Amino acid sequence: MTEQSVSIRPTGAGVGAFVEDVDLSTSLGNSGTQDLLSGLGEHGVLFFRDQTLSPEQHLAFAEEVGDIDINRFFKPVENYPKIAEVRKEPVHKVAVGERWHTDHSYDIEPALGSILVARELPSHGGDTIFSNMYKAYDALSDGLKKTLDGLTAEHSTRHRFGAIPKSPELAKEYEGRIGNADMAVQDSVHPVVIRHPISGKKALYVNADFTTGFAGWTVEESQSLLDYLYAHAAQEEFTYRFQWKPGSIAFWDNRATWHKALNDYHGERRLMHRITIRGEALSA
Ligand code: SIN
């Protein structure tokens, strides 16, 4: 088997690294794949430029790094049930993923990460911002770290994907993009501070889209501390803003980062293909 050597150049900002001189349309080989996964655990998100990947090659790359975890809410790409579409058309106002979040935290075994391939980009904007949850945790005071280290939090999607049919406006907005609201019944509880399965580092694991509160706390009690953590973890020093170009790919780790899609290109189409990689139960 051909082995590709993986050269990783950190962005120099709060999170992420560029992987250079690889061709994702062919196998990375065993050691290339292992190097890529440890780079992912270390840097939180890996960016690739100038790749030409068919949907089959996107699937082959995903299967080389792990097992595919099919998202049950996103519309799949026609003829490719394992690839989710992240689409915004000129008629849409809302971009899928426009709030800070991490994918699948509502699952008992949250996804390891997602591989997003740019298919059609707007003439301007449509960047994705990532934030580093290792750094967000490290920058907290010792006192708050101690409090958070002992907590678990509840995550759900009932109030997000599950709520779409209850609002005619949202139902219209997401029609043909997000569905299966009846499947939004999976809640989960995870440590608020996890030990990252690859890097072994501690990371803050709550997010504004899917975390509903600390286990054993009221919604009101939870919300003020969660709001503090959300503002803290979104600080620019922890982030990197990735500008998409034709041929760009981002592979992020959902346990080490948050991301959000910037919705600044109304009236234009943006179409991305996302494959999500299966993860594992998280521990403190
Ligand atoms: C996502 O949240 O999975 C999509 C991010 C993006 O479209 O940039």
pLDDT tens profile 134-174 = 999 999 999 999 999 999 999 999 999 999 999 999 999 99
| Residue nearest to ligand 1 atom 3, measured at CA | 97
pLDDT at 2 over 80: no
d(CA 219, ligand 1 centre) in Å: 28
Q: Is residue 102 in contact with ligand 1, taking CB distance under 6 Å? A: no
Nearest-atom index, ligand 1, CA of 97: 2
Q: Is residue 274 in contact with ligand 1, taking CB distance under 6 Å? A: yes
101 is catalytic: yes
| Residue nearest to ligand 1 atom 4, measured at CA | 97
The whole-angstrom separation of Cα 132 and Cα 137 is 9
Taking alpha carbons only, the member of 74, 55, 52 closest to residue 63 is 55
What does each C-alpha distance from 13 to 18, 110, 131, 206, 272 come to in angstroms?
12, 26, 10, 22, 24
Across the chain, mean pLDDT equals 97
**pLDDT score of 78:** 97
d(CA 39, ligand 1 centre) in Å: 21
The whole-angstrom separation of Cα 257 and Cα 278 is 16
**Mean per-residue pLDDT for 42-65?**
98
**Mean per-residue pLDDT for 219-240?**
97
- Per DSSP (E only), the strands in the chain are 7-10, 17-20, 45-48, 76-77, 80-88, 113-120, 128-132, 152-155, 188-191, 193-195, 202-204, 211-214, 239-242, 249-253, 257-261, 270-277
Q: What is the pLDDT of residues 166-200, one digit of tens each?
A: 999 999 999 999 999 999 998 999 999 999 999 99
Q: How many other β-carbons are positioned within 10 Å of the β-carbon of residue 236?
A: 11
Active-site residue among 92, 196, 255, 274? 274
Where do the domains of the chain lie, and which CATH numbers do they carry?
A: 7-277 (3.60.130.10)
Q: What is the pLDDT of residues 93-132, one digit of tens each?
A: 999 999 999 999 999 999 999 999 999 999 999 999 999 9
pTM of the model: 0.97
**pLDDT score of 278:** 98
pLDDT at 1 over 80: no
Asked if 78 contacts 50 with a C-beta cutoff of 8 angstroms, the reply is no
**pLDDT score of 186:** 85
Active-site residue among 87, 101, 104, 255? 101
**Mean per-residue pLDDT for 204-223?**
97
Tokens representing residue 180 in the block: 């299966």
- Per DSSP (E only), the strands in 178-235 are 188-191, 193-195, 202-204, 211-214
Q: What is the pLDDT of residues 244-273, one digit of tens each?
A: 999 999 999 999 999 999 999 999 999 999
Residue 208's Cβ-side half-sphere holds a number of Cα atoms within 13 Å equal to 17
Active-site residue among 69, 103, 107, 253? 103
